[in-house]
Structure formats: C-alpha cells, structure tokens
Structure 1
C-alpha cells in the first residue's frame, strides 16, 4: 500500500491485561470501534500506545494482532523511535516484518543532541528499512526538538514522507508548512486534537487524534467539514472534541483516563503500564459518565 498522509489518523491505545500483556480481545473490539467509525489510518505504538514502556515481545504481539485484524485499505503506521539509533532500527525492522505501511520516529530521548546527530539518526533509520519514515516532534517528552532547519533538510529525502508535530505551537507548525512546501511527497500533520481545525485551515492534509479511540465519528466529521469549507460546522465539532480532551486529561495521567473511558465503553480493560496509576472508583465513574454524555451530544 502506498502511504498517503491524509484525513484523521487514530493514535491507538494499547489494550493490556493486568499482567501488562496484550489484551487480544480488547484489540479486536477497539479496532472494530475505530475502523467502524470511519478511520482508515492507524498509528500503533505511539505516545498514546505506551511504546516507550512496553516490552518488545508485547509490542510484537500487538503488531501481529492489529495487522491480522485490519481490512484491506486501512493503513498501519508504527511508532519506532528509541533512545539510540540501533535500538530505533531494531524497532523499525520489527514493524516492517509485522507488515507496517510506515514508521513514525521520535528523536532519541534522555541525552540532548544537535541537528547533525539527529539528521544522521533519521537517515540511518531510513537506510535500514524499505518503509517510508515519518518524523515525530514531541519535545516535551523527548527533550529534543526537531528544528525547522533540520526538518527542511530531511524533507528533501524521498524516504521521509512527513512530520507529525505534537508541540502545540502553531507558529512552528506554519513555519514547517512553508519551509517544506516545495517537497510534494512531504506532509506536515497535526499531532494534537486541540489544533485540528486550525491546522487543516493552514493547509495540513492530516491530523492525529487520540479521541478517535472512543469517538472516531467526531474527528472524522470535523475533517470532512474542513474539507468542504464549512468552518462554522468544523469549529462546532472542534469545541465538542475539546470537551472530550478536557475529560481525558483531567487527572494528569494520560493515557490512563483515555483507557478508562475505553473500558467504560466496553472496548478493553483500563490497565496501563506500570507505574501509571489506576483511577479511584469515584473518578472512574465520573469520567465514564462525562464521556458518555459528550458522545450523546450533551454538555458536561
């Protein structure tokens, strides 16, 4: 499948059992919900999918389960960034072997790196696999921001097809759109549900949504409204999505809240990797109640 970055991409949660193993039934139910809601591109093992915390064997089990359940026409992007180049290459090869359509790669975390080192990191990964590579900027997690100059250089590489920016900085985002516009194979996509409409209006072809795990129809409709030029309708849906975002970050332990909401909808268990906390029963009930109200079109 030729990888095209367009529309709404769902950043999948990773359904887990209490032993932190892949909840295979949960994976099937989650995919049925997400794909049934109109999503045709999935991002597994991203930040929402706890990629940095899962054991390699469980990552492999997840990819096998997801890929085997995907219908024709649904693309799979896999998060493969790591703390060093060789580790990231190993992850990318695992994703390739599992049948991924592309990999999305954070810069290495923990140590600070200059642009030259980061450029070598991405070029070596692109050289090691036959899949397209997507850059992933989320500097509050990694500590290394992908500079506009670096992104511009990497955007000239035909093996690198885009960047997901999750820094929530629209000035930076617009700068990337402008600096890379000459490279038609390269897409600048929004990584925050908060800024989907603003990004589509600015010219971005795609956005990554976490709320699409539990309410995929909302952001799919938002994108369609933007594509038709209905800014009023799109902004109305954006406000509704923002209400959902507020609920799933309420306790400051994302993605626990999102997985709790998914559990309340019968999609999977609420378990997240240790040392993520478990919400109290009172907090859980309130969160599920509020999510259900928003999905029903009511105010919280």
Structure 2
C-alpha cells in the first residue's frame, strides 16, 4: 500500500482443489509463492479464489497456510464476503489476526437488501477490525450493484475503498467523482487498466489473468506507470488476446486454470459444479496460446 491506498498488480489468487474437490493448500501456496515474485499483493478468497464455494473453516485455514508459507513476502487482502454479517465478521477478525493488510467484502448476496441494510452490514464489519475495509462491487455475481450514493455513505461509516468489477468505466468514474480524494478506487480487471489509469489515475488493479501470466501483467503495469504508451498498448492487446482464449471455457476461473496447465503448472482443479475444460478445448487453447507466443510458451519456474 502507498499512502493508505493499494498499489500495483494484485491478482485474485486462484484457490486450487484436488480431483476430489478438497482444497489443495499445498498447490495453492505453491502458486502464491510463484506469483509473489512478480506482483505487489494477493487478493485471497475472492471470485477466482472460490470464497463463496468454500466453508468458513476452509477459508480460514487457507489464509493461515498462506501466512505461514509466504512469511510476509507479499501483502494479502482477504475477501470475507458471505451471505450474512456474523460470518463475515468472523472471517474479517481472523484475517486481521493472520496479518492481512486489508479486507474486502461483496455486499451480502442471494437476497436483495436495502441500502440501509447494506450500510449496517459494512458498519458492523468496519467496527470489528482495525485494518482497512474495502467494498467489492461485483453486480454480476452478487445480483445488485453499489450505487455511487451508497458508496459515499459507506465511506462515511469507515469503508476505505472499493474494488470495482462492474466492467463499466462510467461507474468507475462516478465512484472517483462522488467519493473523497482519500477514498481508494481499485479496478477489478486487467481489461480496462490502461484506460482507467490514464483517464482516472487508477493505481491498483486485481487482474485474474495474472494468476497464469503475472510477468506479462506486471510488465504491462510498469509500462503504464512509466507512460510508455506504445509499449503499454502493445501489451494491452496481447493481454486481451490471452483473455479471449481463457474465456472460451465459459468460466474465467476454469479458463485461467487451463492456462496454468498450459504453462506447466499441473496441479489444480476447480470445485464442482465447475469442471475442467475438455481435452478438446484444452488442445485448442494450447494451440492458440502457442500462436500468441510465436511457438514458444514460457514455462513457470516455481
């Protein structure tokens, strides 16, 4: 973090499962160690991290394992969003105890809540910890979004920032305009970072693709930050090509898992009801990735 704000490339760490659907803590930590050599932080137990697919105890154990094995090598932001306030509070307190630098939470999902109920939910979370709390705006998965007016009210009760995964530059702009200059607005995708950085001075993003290609996403970020617009645009185009290949899987998480396998990281399955890509699709994706890298796919050195 810089000046109490997040900074840089912060991948939403994939939680890896074994073939039977159990959390593969060892493989997930192995991936986290590899990523830590290239990125500024890790966003744990979010959408890519399968938080909503995991039990409370699984989420806590994963944070403990990552804390133990990473030894503060890279900062962690832990997502604690659930369907209810008490569980989110328990996860938040646990994350703080384990050394997380911040927590994030989607608003409670499944049911649709009034703005006042969402406000009370986050007030309770903010009051339960001393580290920064971010609201995670993901209307596609939650079922409803965070309006700029609600976000401003969330700021007044102590929420320090927002991770926005609306994929809408106008929403991002509204957030920046509505909240104070001290409020941290973070982008939830690699796809829009170049635009968001140069137009809105966004300084941090949470790119799912960086699970598989952290080196490329980091180089892209560095090019943007140093105003190398020609290089940044070229890398932006390559990142969009890689995203398009991954999204053929139907689920971005499943697609990025396939990209990891293409790079030589053999461990890791999604948890049911998600399933790995078919061997036919995997072969197609492998060929496409090879073409992106002119026949020489970079391997992962973990």
TM-score when normalising by structure 1: 0.91
2:111 aligned with 1:111: yes
- Any idea what the Cα deviations from partners look like across 1:244-266, whole Å, max 9, x if unmatched? 11111112123111112213323
**Residue 29 of structure 1: aligned partner:** 30
Point out where structure 1 has 5 or more consecutive residues left out of the alignment. Answer: none
1:287 & 1:60 partners in 2: Cα distance? 34
1:120 & 1:263 partners in 2: Cα distance? 43
1:297 & 1:166 partners in 2: Cα distance? 33
SS of the residue 2:160 aligns to: strand
Q: CA deviation at 1:270?
A: 3.8
SS of the residue 2:51 aligns to: coil
2:284 aligned with 1:286: yes
2:102 & 2:266 partners in 1: Cα distance? 26
Q: CA deviation at 1:283?
A: 1.2
**Residue 300 of structure 2: aligned partner:** none
2:81 aligned with 1:81: yes
- Any idea what the Cα deviations from partners look like across 1:162-185, whole Å, max 9, x if unmatched? 1010011101111111112x342x
2:178 aligned with 1:173: no
What is the number of residues matched between the two proteins? 295
- CA distance change for structure 1 residues 165 and 258 in 2, over 3 Å: closer, same or farther? same
1:200 & 1:268 partners in 2: Cα distance? 34
2:22 & 2:293 partners in 1: Cα distance? 29
1:129 & 1:111 partners in 2: Cα distance? 25
SS of the residue 2:191 aligns to: helix
- CA distance change for structure 1 residues 169 and 208 in 2, over 3 Å: closer, same or farther? same
SS of the residue 1:135 aligns to: strand
- Provide the alpha-carbon RMSD of the alignment: 2.1
**Residue 124 of structure 2: aligned partner:** 124
Q: CA deviation at 1:193?
A: 1.7
1:271 & 1:115 partners in 2: Cα distance? 37
The correspondence for 1:277, drawn from 275, 278, 288, is 275
TM-score when normalising by structure 2: 0.90
**Residue 189 of structure 2: aligned partner:** 192
Task: State whether residues 152 and 179 of structure 1, in contact with CA within 8 Å, keep that contact through their aligned partners in structure 2.
Answer: yes
2:244 aligned with 1:243: no
Q: How does 1:57-96 map to 2 (within 5 A)?
A: 57-72=57-72, 74-96=74-96
2:240 & 2:147 partners in 1: Cα distance? 28
SS of the residue 2:113 aligns to: coil
**Residue 13 of structure 1: aligned partner:** 14
Point out where structure 2 has 5 or more consecutive residues left out of the alignment. Answer: 298-302
